[in-house]
A and B are shown apart, each in its own frame.
Chain A
Amino acid sequence: MSKAIVETENLVKIYRHGKIEVQALRGVTVKMPNGKIIGLVGPSGSGKTTLLNIIGGLDTPTKGKIYVDEVDLTTLSEKRLAEYRLNKIGFVFQFLNLIPVLTALENVEVPMTLAKIPKEERRKRAVELLKMVGLEDRMNHKPDEMSGGEQQRVAIARALANDPSIVLADEPTGSVDTDTTIKIMEIITKLNRSLGKTFIIATHDPMVKERCEKIYNIRDGKLIGEN
């Protein structure tokens, strides 16, 4: 088995809301395998989104260590974290992923624009990616002209734009119906197989769970089991 893509040691995250402390993560130690579809499963408030955000460099742990692709994220500056998110990570959120004023094609181009990739190359790759998620005929539509499922597929295409090591998805099927969920999971599975990307999906949807090759169960900020 290949080396771990994500490795954490006793990860703790405490949020303070005024005087109230919320322990979102209470010491998570985990080694996630490379190139798999991984599920973080647990009820809402269990800490799975927090863990996902820390892996993605959006949030920093209060205590503990996290290595992604052998890089210690806790040592990175804010600017380096932005670069890390740009080049190593792709994000897919539950909803409202896209920039409303831009077309599907332009939304997929955004990360490449931020990475200063030349316009022609950007456009070519964006078209390719949209074909991969089956949206070649929706390229020039704006988000409000697309269904929820189509918007999520554009978000997946965008997540892959800069060829990241990991795609992080937070409840990617949380706002779509069953058929669309199946369709999205099929696309994720296909991309995982063809591109060898690691997908880490936070979910509580059994249908999504089914498609994951590795599951971590999280409850009350702790890892309570994996299979």
Chain B
Amino acid sequence: MAIRNISRRKLRTTLTVLGIVVGVGMMLALLSIVSGMDVRVTQMVRALGGADITIYNATTPGRGGQPFGGFGFTIQRTINLNIIEQVSQIQGVYAVSPQLSFMGYIGNTRITIYGIDPQTYDEVTGGLNIINGRMLNVGESGKIILGKAIMEALNTTIGGKVKVGVSTTEQREFEVIGEFETGMMFQEYSAYITIEDAQNMTGLENEATQILVKCEDPYMVSEVANTITSYIPGVRVTTPTAMVTQATQLLNTLTMFFATIGLIALVAGSFGVINTMLMSVSERTREIGILKAIGAKSSDILKMFLAEAVLIGALGGVIGVAVGGVLAYVLPMFMPGIMGTASILGRTTIRGIRQVGSTQLFTPTLTPTNIVVCIALGVLVGLIAGLYPAWRASRMKPVEALRHV
């Protein structure tokens, strides 16, 4: 009956539903964009390896970014591992792990190879996301962990043998013991071996390209970073997780801002519902009188009109979710503000990621929770907006309502 009643004035109902569609659509689109950015930040935290501070060699001139001597492979300036002792004694430092990364080759494929110390690496970064096989053991030689993407590219499996080296010619055999996933292709174009193997391969005994540091307290990161640069000469530090924390705060602000816009749109839509329902009640005065005369209680009338308002709200919610789903993908193209934010986030990413086009920086994410919340919002708006008109209808005196033609 509610369906037939709201179908009486199709144009009016359609316009009213559209009011809700706009509100719900906005809400879902914005929520999806924000969740998309949230996923992006989470991915980045993982991509950054979870280290609070990364220490690099800051001395010049260096060989950084240039082909390394006659070896023909690319490596950054290195740090001597004896600073690890110094770093671990700084107050607030929880764990320290050296990493020797360089551009190397598996077969003919050029990839980033990370030499790590498995035990301290796990302490500092929380470990790799191993989806198959196992992590490296300390001091283990001739074993390699590959990213999912390179694994697929090489068409190899756990237990398979690959040739690894600093060039395409100077290579030795490694056994694949694990596969990791990050959710981002370019990161999975990399491999992990023990730092000892990496040092042997590059001929850089007792050297590392980065020292990764985990702090006892995430809020002490910048303080610890300052101490490191002042105590140890010739190094520079980055504090990627601190930047991510800032970005997350920015995201929260954005979420609040967008949620407010969506809510304002919904409030505007609810006035449409109130208006439509009041008109409907007034047009159907005689009908209300008849219904009361044949025995409808005030509560029956109340329920009848509320059902219509809720139906309008639910329709708006469902259509709004569909529209919002599309908007979530279209809107970012017209919102340079968000894109600007995204590129700030982009700058916090580790080397080698920046080549990813800015349009790929985040993808809107439609989560089931957001969809359900948005439909529920539509229903709720219908219900609240329908309360007053339905109450007016239910309060009508039958004799007076019947006099109305």
A78 CB-CB contact with B under 8 Å: yes
Q: Which residues of B contact A93 (CB under 8 A)?
A: 290, 293, 402
Judging by beta carbons under 8 Å apart, are A58 and B398 in contact? yes
Judging by beta carbons under 8 Å apart, are B399 and A111 in contact? no
Contact flags (1/0) for A90-103 with B, using CB distance below 8 Å? 11010011111110
Q: Which residues of B contact A111 (CB under 8 A)?
A: 294-295
A209 CB-CB contact with B under 8 Å: no
Judging by beta carbons under 8 Å apart, are B402 and A114 in contact? no
Judging by beta carbons under 8 Å apart, are A86 and B1 in contact? no
| Contact (A115, B399) CB under 8 Å given A99-B287, A99-B290 | no
Q: Which of A78, A79, A91, A162 is B293 in contact with, Cβ under 8 Å?
A: A91
Q: Which residues of B contact A78 (CB under 8 A)?
A: 298
Q: Which residues of A contact B4 (CB under 8 A)?
A: 101-102
B140 CB-CB contact with A under 8 Å: no
A56 CB-CB contact with B under 8 Å: yes
Judging by beta carbons under 8 Å apart, are B399 and A85 in contact? no
Give complex CA distance A56, B293 in Å: 8
Q: Which of A82, A89, A98, A102 is B296 in contact with, Cβ under 8 Å?
A: A82
| Contact (A86, B294) CB under 8 Å given A96-B286, A101-B5 | yes
A-B contact count (CB 8 A): 65
- The binding surface of chain B is classed by DSSP as helix
Judging by beta carbons under 8 Å apart, are B295 and A86 in contact? yes
B405 CB-CB contact with A under 8 Å: yes
Judging by beta carbons under 8 Å apart, are B296 and A114 in contact? yes
Interface residues on B, range: 20 to 34
Judging by beta carbons under 8 Å apart, are B293 and A58 in contact? yes
Give complex CA distance A82, B296 in Å: 6
**Number of residues in A with C-beta < 8 Å to the partner?**
29
- The binding surface of chain A is classed by DSSP as mixed
State the Cβ distance, B315 to closest chain A Cβ, in Å. Answer: 17
A87 CB-CB contact with B under 8 Å: yes
Q: Which residues of B contact A32 (CB under 8 A)?
A: none
- Which of the listed residues B7, B287, B297, B405 has the most CB atoms from chain A within 10 Å of its own CB? B297
Q: Which residues of A contact B216 (CB under 8 A)?
A: none
Contact flags (1/0) for B263-287 with A, using CB distance below 8 Å? 0000000000000000000000011
A29 CB-CB contact with B under 8 Å: no
Judging by beta carbons under 8 Å apart, are B290 and A97 in contact? yes
Judging by beta carbons under 8 Å apart, are B294 and A114 in contact? yes
B8 CB-CB contact with A under 8 Å: yes
State the Cβ distance, B307 to closest chain A Cβ, in Å. Answer: 13
Q: Which residues of A contact B291 (CB under 8 A)?
A: 99, 110
Q: Which residues of A contact B297 (CB under 8 A)?
A: 79, 82-83, 114
State the Cβ distance, B44 to closest chain A Cβ, in Å. Answer: 56
State the Cβ distance, B342 to closest chain A Cβ, in Å. Answer: 51
State the Cβ distance, B257 to closest chain A Cβ, in Å. Answer: 44
Give complex CA distance A206, B297 in Å: 36
State the Cβ distance, A81 to closest chain B Cβ, in Å. Answer: 9
| 6 A–B contacts, CB within 8 A, in A order | A82-B292, A86-B296, A93-B290, A96-B286, A97-B290, A99-B287
Contacts A96-B405, A100-B8 given; 19 further ones with Cβ under 8 A? A58-B292, A58-B399, A58-B402, A59-B399, A79-B297, A82-B296, A82-B297, A85-B294, A86-B294, A86-B295, A89-B295, A90-B294, A93-B402, A97-B290, A101-B8, A110-B291, A110-B294, A111-B294, A162-B295
What 6 pairs between A and B have smallest CB-CB spacing? A86-B295, A101-B4, A82-B297, A85-B295, A91-B293, A58-B398
